[in-house]
A and B are shown apart, each in its own frame.
Chain A
């Protein structure tokens, strides 16, 4: 324990440099490239998730008061699925992909070979501290890299547990955890990495990308944004309401990058929607939600103060139609709904990341698209509840976001055949399933040529005949090529 404390205190640029050097040597040895190594690491991680579930649940309760079900499902079960999928598909993912070749390079064969990038850095976030740390690590392992994981210091019990578990279960000559805050992260960012995978907010993402630019390091940035929910009127209101609640408050009490941030619905439908929310929220969380064991708390007092400020702004506090109760000691805010806050209010201009849900009303549901697109930024997700086919089509065609879901919220994150990532301000790159493997791989193009059929037209001296041949050749015209050759032999 004492030496760990020492390590924590002196992790500076020199330590970071040494760390990277050590990992480069490990990677250079070729160990991580082998199928066996990747398989044993993924298997060990699965074992770790099985055996350590109670400890993980306890750490999450300590950091976030996360209900056991959320921990078990959104952190542990999702990670186990990720491991199992990678184990099942690994051989297939590692195989080279054949590429077609054309007349232009005849005779030849081609393939695309996946190779690890090398030594990668994964910086994770505090709201799903296990999921967002280990899910990218699973991809990095599957792709054969050496890894440094920097969990968020804002969830300290989880960070500490991660460091301990990774050291115990995984190959610590190739996979390391560095705990710490801004100084440690900065020290890490000064080093040259072969890839940086960052989950968090836009402000820090800019710092990460600028640091990566110095070494021409490619990045994946999983950020956030204001994920809107459009609610049409002719729908199964009960189901829609519950699914919105499940995506908002049952996901870390709104502190998730894909949580519904705000709702857009018609003026006519708003009160029905509000009533439906009131009923279902009471069924889920009881009359005293501040005391419900089924809601996470706000992660720390900084965020509590931030969220309180959003609620206390002039012209906003009067728009609360449900909830608004706060418990500063326990860092708890009840599910809160607001109706028609001003468009220029703080709550409508920054990602809420908490249990507050503004509802904006429009005259016609089609006007929602303008509201979303006028924000000038592209969110991580966007949701639509409707039975209207044309509206669905317009939604898919005009709303740009990382991912869209029709008639549900957040479930796309569990679907490994869909790439999960943002666009514009919500991020760069994607992962989950095979996309994780690809995110941490270099796809090397390989062309095999033979010595036969050496095309003398390639070489000088250049003549008009050779020009004609090229015109036909690059145009794919066999007849043209024959003609060109015949004209030549005539002249």
Chain B
């Protein structure tokens, strides 16, 4: 079995200790930056082929993200690998405590198809920076990107330490039968369960970056200017990245009834301006990844009650796998479009009487990766933060939290567990080893049997860090 040969080699390489050296890690990161810079056009071509992404979208969401991530990691790595000192109490004097990060070993990364470069290479950056060897399994649903990674990575990176494997479900299943020191998975909750169940056999720690319906609450804002900005950010955030096929895409909007039509008009205006007037003239927008997902999305619209709620768009082009940006107003809450994660260019708008009702609505659904809220009401912001649960909350924008290296990126509940980006990537692929150094002197006699009341009293005081009490006890001035 090819995969187990590859894993055996990765284990040998890890055992050799080569990947622990900070110099090796930095070289790999620099090589990755070279890989991206020298192959930018090929990456744009592959992303266009797989998903119809425009080069600017590809740069903004994939190429640029990886370059930024790798540079940031390079600039921080020395700091991150250094042990963190722990303060110890006088009782243990003389002693030194620290937490030393170390690599976990041989890690497996599963990447998803919607951001095939970012979701493969960003975790890879984390794994390399932490000193691990890696097997990367990109998604076969983005075949041009998969080929690109398989062909290019061995020319730039240490191919005894970093391997890329292609193939379909059967390969993934075989990989999951093997023992890993960490599995990092981006994908659906359904497959996330299978990955974790397989990991349980070896007690392998996992990070699961999943998804769920990410809502955007749109409150009434204090000026037309702000409302326009909000509308642009909603439109640009929904259809800009991979035409809504992103785990952090706005899945649906929650707005007050009286505001819905104003918002819809603004959304329509910006959709037309950014992407074109109709399906024949669509530009600067990606397409649906494959026929299967196209059918799935098309079927969501076929429900007559759902179709009746379409207020903009709705046209599809099966040959080109394109569905135009579509807005729906109050589709039935029990329809599939409102119970399943959409992952496509359809945007339902749910109206409520008062915007505060959004909170209960959101809480009736599984915890999403992100909750977006466009509002200036500080009380409402606090309520959203304390009464809902999500991986992230972003106020007054969409998608952009993804670019923030100092914020942990991950889910909670059904949207997953574990996190990455920036130092969190380094931590996710590290073991934080506690280290305590003691001297032989002085000795605390009461530690040792045979036990007496004096020793019991001594230890009790010691545990309370009651140094005065200890002195009194030893001077015979405290009864034992």
Judge whether B139 is part of the interface by a CB distance below 8 angstroms.
no
A442 pairs with B401, CB closer than 8 A: no
Judge whether A267 is part of the interface by a CB distance below 8 angstroms.
no
Judge whether B406 is part of the interface by a CB distance below 8 angstroms.
yes
Give min CB distance, B437 to chain A, whole Å: 5
B283 pairs with A461, CB closer than 8 A: yes
A110 pairs with B406, CB closer than 8 A: yes
The listed residue (B181, B221, B225, B436) touching A408 by CB distance below 8 A is: B436
Cβ–Cβ < 8 Å partners of A414 in chain B:
463
- Type the 1/0 row for B59-70, where 1 means its CB is closer than 8 Å to any CB of A: 110001101100
B437 pairs with A406, CB closer than 8 A: yes
The listed residue (A401, A463, A471, A474) touching B433 by CB distance below 8 A is: A401
Judge whether B474 is part of the interface by a CB distance below 8 angstroms.
no
A442 pairs with B86, CB closer than 8 A: no
Cβ–Cβ < 8 Å partners of A33 in chain B:
386
A466, B55: Cα distance in complex, Å: 10
A206, B203: Cα distance in complex, Å: 6
A451, B193: Cα distance in complex, Å: 40
A470 pairs with B193, CB closer than 8 A: no
Judge whether B197 is part of the interface by a CB distance below 8 angstroms.
yes
Cβ–Cβ < 8 Å partners of B392 in chain A:
444-447
Interface of A is mostly: mixed
Judge whether B460 is part of the interface by a CB distance below 8 angstroms.
yes
Judge whether B100 is part of the interface by a CB distance below 8 angstroms.
yes
Judge whether B311 is part of the interface by a CB distance below 8 angstroms.
no
B199 pairs with A209, CB closer than 8 A: yes
Within 8 A of B (CB), among A473-491: 473-476
B56 pairs with A68, CB closer than 8 A: no
A445 pairs with B208, CB closer than 8 A: no
Give min CB distance, B369 to chain A, whole Å: 10
A137, B315: Cα distance in complex, Å: 55
A421, B406: Cα distance in complex, Å: 26
Judge whether A423 is part of the interface by a CB distance below 8 angstroms.
yes
Give min CB distance, A387 to chain B, whole Å: 8
- Type the 1/0 row for B373-413, where 1 means its CB is closer than 8 Å to any CB of A: 00000000000011101111111110011011111110011
A216 pairs with B203, CB closer than 8 A: no
Cβ–Cβ < 8 Å partners of A407 in chain B:
437-440
Q: Which of A235, A240, A412 has the most CB of B within 10 A?
A: A412
CB contact under 8 A between A430 and B54, given known A105-B403, A242-B447, A462-B284: no
Cβ–Cβ < 8 Å partners of B437 in chain A:
392, 405-407
Q: Which of A104, A105, A463 has the most CB of B within 10 A?
A: A105
Stretch in contact with the other chain, from A5-13, A69-77, A160-168: A69-77
Cβ–Cβ < 8 Å partners of A284 in chain B:
448-450
Give min CB distance, B208 to chain A, whole Å: 7
- Type the 1/0 row for B84-101, where 1 means its CB is closer than 8 Å to any CB of A: 001111001000010110
Within 8 A of A (CB), among B144-191: 181, 189
CB contact under 8 A between A442 and B460, given known A239-B443, A418-B97: no
Cβ–Cβ < 8 Å partners of A401 in chain B:
433
Cβ–Cβ < 8 Å partners of B459 in chain A:
69, 72-73, 77
Judge whether B232 is part of the interface by a CB distance below 8 angstroms.
yes
The listed residue (A216, A236, A461) touching B208 by CB distance below 8 A is: A216
The residue of chain A having its C-beta at the shortest distance from the C-beta of B97 within the complex is: A418
Judge whether B201 is part of the interface by a CB distance below 8 angstroms.
yes
Total residue contacts A-B, CB cutoff 8 A:
298
A471 pairs with B232, CB closer than 8 A: no
A246 pairs with B447, CB closer than 8 A: yes
The residue of chain B having its C-beta at the shortest distance from the C-beta of A404 within the complex is: B435
A206 pairs with B438, CB closer than 8 A: no
Within 8 A of B (CB), among A127-145: none
A108, B405: Cα distance in complex, Å: 13
The listed residue (A73, A223, A429, A467) touching B56 by CB distance below 8 A is: A467
A212, B189: Cα distance in complex, Å: 13
Stretch in contact with the other chain, from B111-119, B292-300, B347-355, B414-422: B414-422
The listed residue (B20, B240, B387) touching A460 by CB distance below 8 A is: B240
Q: Which of B208, B433, B443 has the most CB of A within 10 A?
A: B433
CB contact under 8 A between A415 and B193, given known A78-B463, A408-B436, A424-B181: no
Cβ–Cβ < 8 Å partners of A242 in chain B:
443, 447-448
Judge whether B126 is part of the interface by a CB distance below 8 angstroms.
no
A212, B192: Cα distance in complex, Å: 12
A456, B203: Cα distance in complex, Å: 48
CB contact under 8 A between A214 and B193, given known A72-B460, A105-B400, A284-B448: yes
Cβ–Cβ < 8 Å partners of B393 in chain A:
444-447
Cβ–Cβ < 8 Å partners of B400 in chain A:
105, 108, 447, 449
Cβ–Cβ < 8 Å partners of B64 in chain A:
470-471, 473-475
B456 pairs with A406, CB closer than 8 A: no
Judge whether B229 is part of the interface by a CB distance below 8 angstroms.
yes
A294 pairs with B433, CB closer than 8 A: no
Cβ–Cβ < 8 Å partners of B460 in chain A:
72-73, 77
B203 pairs with A428, CB closer than 8 A: yes
The residue of chain B having its C-beta at the shortest distance from the C-beta of A454 within the complex is: B229
Judge whether B104 is part of the interface by a CB distance below 8 angstroms.
yes
CB contact under 8 A between A460 and B208, given known A72-B456, A400-B433, A450-B396: no
A459 pairs with B432, CB closer than 8 A: no
A451 pairs with B226, CB closer than 8 A: yes
Judge whether B200 is part of the interface by a CB distance below 8 angstroms.
yes
- Type the 1/0 row for B14-49, where 1 means its CB is closer than 8 Å to any CB of A: 000100100000000000000000000000000000
Within 8 A of A (CB), among B433-467: 433-441, 443, 447-451, 455-456, 459-460, 463-464
A404 pairs with B88, CB closer than 8 A: no
Cβ–Cβ < 8 Å partners of A396 in chain B:
100, 433, 435
B397 pairs with A447, CB closer than 8 A: yes
Give min CB distance, A21 to chain B, whole Å: 16
Give min CB distance, A12 to chain B, whole Å: 24
Cβ–Cβ < 8 Å partners of A412 in chain B:
97, 434, 436
* Known A202-B203, A294-B449, A387-B440; further 12 A-B contacts with Cβ < 8 A: A81-B464, A216-B189, A400-B102, A400-B433, A403-B435, A408-B438, A414-B463, A430-B432, A444-B412, A462-B57, A466-B56, A475-B67
Which 5 pairs show the lowest CB-CB distances between chains A and B? A460-B284, A462-B56, A213-B196, A209-B200, A474-B64
B interface residue numbers (CB < 8 A to A) = 17, 20, 54-57, 59-60, 64-65, 67-68, 71, 86-89, 92, 97, 99-100, 102, 104-105, 181, 189, 192-194, 196-197, 199-201, 203, 205, 208, 210, 221, 225-226, 229-230, 232-233, 235-236, 240, 270, 274-275, 283-285, 385-387, 389-397, 400-401, 403-409, 412-414, 416-419, 431-441, 443, 447-451, 455-456, 459-460, 463-464
- The 19 listed contacts between A and B (C-beta, < 8 Å) are A72-B460, A100-B406, A205-B203, A206-B200, A213-B194, A216-B414, A218-B418, A284-B448, A286-B450, A397-B20, A398-B17, A412-B434, A418-B434, A418-B436, A446-B385, A449-B400, A460-B275, A470-B56, A471-B64
